[in-house]
Structure 1
Amino acid sequence: MTIPPAVTAARTLIADLVTRGVRDVVLAPGSRSAPLAYAVAEAADAGRVTLHVRIDERAAGFLALGLSKGSEGMPVAVVTTSGTAVANLHPAVLEANHTGLPLILLTADRPHELRGTGASQTTDQVGIFGSAVRFAADVPAPVLSSSDEPASPGVRAPEGAPAPVSEPASAAASRFADLRHIAGRAVSAALGLRSGYPGPVHLNLAFREPLAPSAALPGLPAETAQEGYPKPDPPLVVPAVLEHFGSPALPGDAARTVVVAGDGAGPEARQLAEAQGWPLFAEPSSGATGGPNAIAAYRLLLGSDELAESVEQVVVFGLPTLSRPVQRLLGSPSVTVTVVAPGAGPWPDAARNAAVVLPGVAPAWFEVPAQQPSQFLERWRAAGARAARVLDDVTSDEAVAGGPTALSVARAVAAVLGPDDLLVVGSSNPVRDLELVLGLDGPGPAVLANRGLAGIDGTVSTAVGVGLSAARRGLRTRALLGDLTFLHDVGGLLRGPDEPPVDLEIVVVNDDGGSIFATLEHGALAASGVAASATFERVFGTPHGSNLAQLCAGYGVDHQIVKDIPTLRHALQAPSHGVQVIEVQVPRADRYAESRDLARRVVGASGA
């Protein structure tokens, strides 16, 4: 049997990616990508990969991002056809770039002779993702073997001429060493094996017709490596601690140091804070929340000048983006900032105030003799405990008996979920509300969020991807989203009947608009009369009036509205099957006043 070169190349590439650890492939349908579609479907039928099909490329990209995030950084491939399909991956690529997730983008393209000719669905896809990818290659269309290659390679035969004879699969397989080599480099770059800086990679794959096999395929290429088969580049092992900072000493006054744990910080941030006896300011998606040194409502407590000015040094892990008070602290000229940033990626220093940037944590920093908590730590702990009591008061069932608030919804979600749960939280207010209440009722769930660029793009799709991956680890997934975030990616609910099943509960806090802006300066201007309230409402509040129940019904997704917090807790504790949306309607009109009042109460109770 003979197989077209495009199909053979695609099969070789997919088989190669499987040997290098790719277990999930997300496919958006298209014509030029047909060779890849056949190859992925064949691998899925053989049980070598799990195939996920989505008709919207933006949703496909964020689904892949969620699959990688939920599997703790496994590489996930995304397949698209040419043209605008490729551009629709860009938001997910940017998020993966800034969060260090290994997406492998396989974009089909026209062969070189059709580029720049006005051919349908043809644009310049080379370098389309710019600096957002760790590696990119424009892979030429595979050609016929020399024995049967046409006299003018690359020129299409006249219409009506007999199709050229394709080469045998066995002969073609040996001619794709270069393709396998490129795949190896791509996977190495995606995983950050040499750089310590994982992220998305892009293979732009040109294919000439014919794009489909003429008969049933004979079986997959061998999975085992052949002699000379290129392996991923070996990891470049860099000692976690370099000689120049082998000492446990840090610049500044260690007695007045806090640890800031941003998104993706990891458990080291909490471990260091507890070993050194330092207060911990941990964002929900840091992976470092909880413990005796975690300070509740730290961002509100930083509104106390006395407390904020007591800090002389900050050690930063991860990407802190949630809090303006924290950014002001990191930018203070009186504060020494030390950033721990492994790998070759850029380090977080938005205030351009970092004094030291370290590639890792010195082991000696964790080997501190047991000692009594410092007065500095005790002061922050006491302030955090008083802030927690204020938050408990304003989110108790009695306080919200007249109707739930967004903050009480976040608390109910965090209280119900435990260590065997994953919570995907949306940007804007939900993640900030969760930050204030996480820990009030116990350790709560592991939290994941798209904080690389902190956008609302693709969050439903991300949550679906996390749910699919987490289920393999025996974890249950929920999501906490605002209404605009949900509506922005409502297409992520669309799944075909043959797609892998997923259990996912999505709690949508619906205040009919963008309440995040009410807590910013725009809300202050509207509240003071400087800006017209009608202007604020139209261009920032953006009410939509959408009926979420009808939207969910159109996608075949279960939906329910809950009117109070006890009912919400009950709904979250019940067994879930498939994708379910739980809508909680909350008021938006008083969000500005409520946020300012809460900040005043927390600072007033802090004792500072």
Structure 2
Amino acid sequence: MTTWESACSAIEACLRHGVREFVVCAGARNAALVEVLARAEAAGQARLWRHFEERSAGFFALGRTMATGEPCAVVTTSGTAVAELLPAVVESFYQGRPLLALTADRPERFRGTGAPQAITQPGIFGEHAGSGEISEWKQRGPWHWNVELEEEFLPGEWTPPAESEEITIPPPNFSVAALALWLRDDLYRGLVVMIGDLEPEDHEEVFHFCIALGAPVAVEATSGLREALGELCLPDPDRMLRERPPGKLLRIGGVPSGRFWRDLEDLPETEVYNITRTGFPGLARSCEIIVSPVARAIKGLGAVEKAGDAFDYFRRTSRCAGEIEDALEAHPDSEPGLLRVLSAYASTGSSLYLGNSLPIREWNLFAQRSKPVTDVRANRGANGIDGQLSTWLGWTADVEDSWCIVGDLTALYDLAAPAWLGQIERKGRMLVVINNGGGQIFSRLPRLDAMHERAKELMLNPHELRLDGWAGMWGMNYLRIEGEDGFDALEPGEVPMVVELIPDAEETAAFWKAWDARG
């Protein structure tokens, strides 16, 4: 088979298998694939995106799978280009997203020779991606298809495939009978629901389930239900649950980001039941798990009996909520104080992306609760800060008035991401970077106090960078906010805007000192 025939065969197989979006990182080795893709786009059978850097491209493709629920391929050339996809493939593995790595390669005879652009590609993603012919892919997670091609090719005729194959993904086998009994038994031990990230189609079923159950809920913003569940929500769940751990905890959706979830490793007396579409329990200890699309499992439970609040968590919620308000009012220019003000503006957008650990935790605790923010995403599969901006831009490529809130190091990890702006919707796009001068999430680790000063510096990665030059480089507007009054100039427009939010370091330290000292 000639190089042209191999390229045609590969792209035709992708199209038949339901892949309609391709993120292209072009090079000499994958030029034949690029040529066929261009013809597929002209025939209306493919949507193409392009980028010069594979790591960003992989995360943009991941974002597209979030947006559409359909597979997206990222197409690379040979050599180390494929290795740049590893972070996005790992993230998509833990999120259960259908990301296809379609990687061009030199023929097998070059492997192990040290010849230019020849590495051993097969198996490079290890357990994090299936591999082989695309016909074997069930689209439950990432897949790697390594296509061997000669560099020279002569373009010929190409006819688009007439129709796609019917991809049959058998539904997971599960039973909710044991969970239904578990939800009724021993409620005197205290039942709490913990909700991680949900797919949009899960929102309604989970909302009605929680209302009917009537149990206290620790809910993350990425569930899309943080504001909607109102009085059922614990305002400071990590502290409240640590003070009196429940006997039973039902986790719904993705793995939660809160500290108490990690504390469960050392609380075997708390029984944990999981409903998750990915199949990951999120804990190393023993727990029960149902692997299913969340809405399907919840619907299978049918009507549930009211569980109530055996441990009187609700009685303490008003006090905890009041403590949050008092702390924010006393430290308005602290990082949590500025985030509270920011959340009122961001809630007017069409969607919100949070990346990563500190913005997510601070939003969960301190963001406004009066206006629903239902379309919220984050990369929490592997809890890394790689590719956050690229994922956001891929997820919201067709969406106006989209907001993203990240930390400074997270932004620095993905400086090439704004190259996507020429291909996506720009109107009302707001990128907020909380610039606290380094990895300040580590400053709150108790063990940091006992570490050597040089070790502390290495942990925090302190810097004095400003982002106005970076914004200008990519044609974005720029606004620097250093206090509450600075929000008066915050106005989305036709041109994307970078908002650099600068918390007062002393006030932030005072906030957390007071926060940690609560009785």
Alignment of 1:20-99 (within 5 A): 20-71=17-68, 73-99=69-95
Report the residue type matching 1:105 in the other structure.
A
Return closer, same or farther for 1:552/1:540 CA change in 2, 3 Å cut-off.
same
**Residues 56 and 557 of structure 1: is their aligned pair in 2 closer, same or farther, counting only changes over 3 Å?**
same
Report the CA distance between 1:128 and its aligned residue.
0.1
Range with greater deviation from structure 2 (35-44 or 75-84): 35-44
1:204 correspondence with 2:146: yes
Once the 2 structures are TM-superposed, how far is the Cα of residue 338 of structure 1 from its aligned partner? 1.4
Aligned-residue offset at 1:92: 0.7
**Any idea what the Cα deviations from partners look like across 1:344-395, whole Å, max 9, x if unmatched?**
x333223x031x32345365744136x6x83537x32332333222223333
SS in 2 for 1:89: helix
Alignment of 1:581-592 (within 5 A): 581-588=498-505, 591=508
User: Which residue of 2 is the match for residue 595 of structure 1?
Assistant: 512
What 5-or-longer segments of structure 2 have no aligned partner?
none
Moved more, 48-57 or 77-86: 48-57
The alignment covers a number of residue pairs equal to 508
Paired residues of 2:331 and 2:337 also in contact (CA < 8 A): no
User: CA 1:454/1:436 → structure 2, altered by over 3 Å: closer, same or farther?
Assistant: same
Does the 8 Å contact 2:73/2:101 carry over to 1? yes
Per-residue deviation, 1:407? 1.4
Q: Partners in 2 of 1:16 and 1:347 — Cα distance?
A: 34
Q: What does residue 543 of structure 1 align with?
A: 462
Conserved 8 A contact 2:196-2:253: yes
Out of 439, 445, 467, the residue aligned to residue 396 of structure 2 is 467
Change (3 A) 1:340 1:7: same
**d(CA) in 2 for partners of 1:487, 1:40:** 32
- In the other structure, the counterpart of 1:395 is 328
Larger displacement relative to structure 2 (576-585 or 32-41): 576-585
1:565 offset after TM fit, Å?
3.2
The alignment status of 1:125 with 2:62, answered yes or no, reads no
CA contact (8 A) 2:353 2:403 kept: yes
Q: Does the 8 A contact of 1:419 with 1:446 survive in 2?
A: no
Matched, 1:289 2:289: no
Offset, 1:21: 3.2
Task: Give the 5 Å matches for 1:375-386.
Answer: 375-376=309-310, 379-386=312-319
1:136 matched residue in structure 2: 131
- Tell me if structure 1 keeps the 8 A contact 2:6–2:149: no
Counterpart of 1:513 in structure 2 is 438
The aligned residue for residue 8 of structure 1 is 5
* TM-score in terms of structure 2 length: 0.89
Q: 1:221 aligns with which of 156, 159, 167?
A: 159
SS at match of 2:464: coil
Call closer, same or farther: CA 1:500–1:421 in 2, change over 3 Å.
closer
Matched, 1:17 2:14: yes
2:216 aligned with 1:279: yes
Q: Distance in 2 between matches of 1:36 and 1:129?
A: 22
1:430 paired with 2:359, answer yes
Instruction: Give, in whole Å, the separation in 1 of the partners of 2:476 and 2:36.
Output: 31
Which amino acid is 2:304 matched to?
Answer: V
C-alpha distance 394-7 of structure 1, shift in aligned 2 (>3 A): farther
Aligned to 1:116: 112
Structure 1 length normalisation: TM-score? 0.77
SS in 1 for 2:511: helix
- CA distance 1:418–1:445, change in 2 (3 Å): farther
> Residues 341, 364 of structure 1: CA spacing in aligned structure 2 closer, same or farther, 3 A cutoff?
closer
> Are residues 565 and 68 of structure 1, via their aligned partners in 2, closer, same or farther at CA, if it must alter by over 3 Å?
farther
- Per the alignment, residue 487 of structure 2 pairs with 568
Residue 252 and residue 374 in structure 1: after superposition, are their counterparts in 2 closer, same or farther (change >3 A)? closer
**Code of the aligned partner of 1:261:** I
Aligned residue for 1:183?
134
* Distance apart, 1:22 and its partner CA: 2.6
**Deviations 1:474-504, CA, capped at 9 Å, x for gaps:** x63210011110011111122485x344443
CA contact (8 A) 2:17 2:167 kept: no
What is the DSSP-based 3-state SS (H/G/I as helix, E as strand, rest coil) of the residue aligned with 1:431? Answer: helix
* Counterpart in the other structure of 1:156: none
Any idea what the Cα deviations from partners look like across 1:380-425, whole Å, max 9, x if unmatched?
23323332222233334x842xxx3221333233323448621111
Would you say 1:577 and 2:494 are equivalent positions?
Answer: yes
For residue 304 of structure 2, what is the aligned residue in structure 1? 368
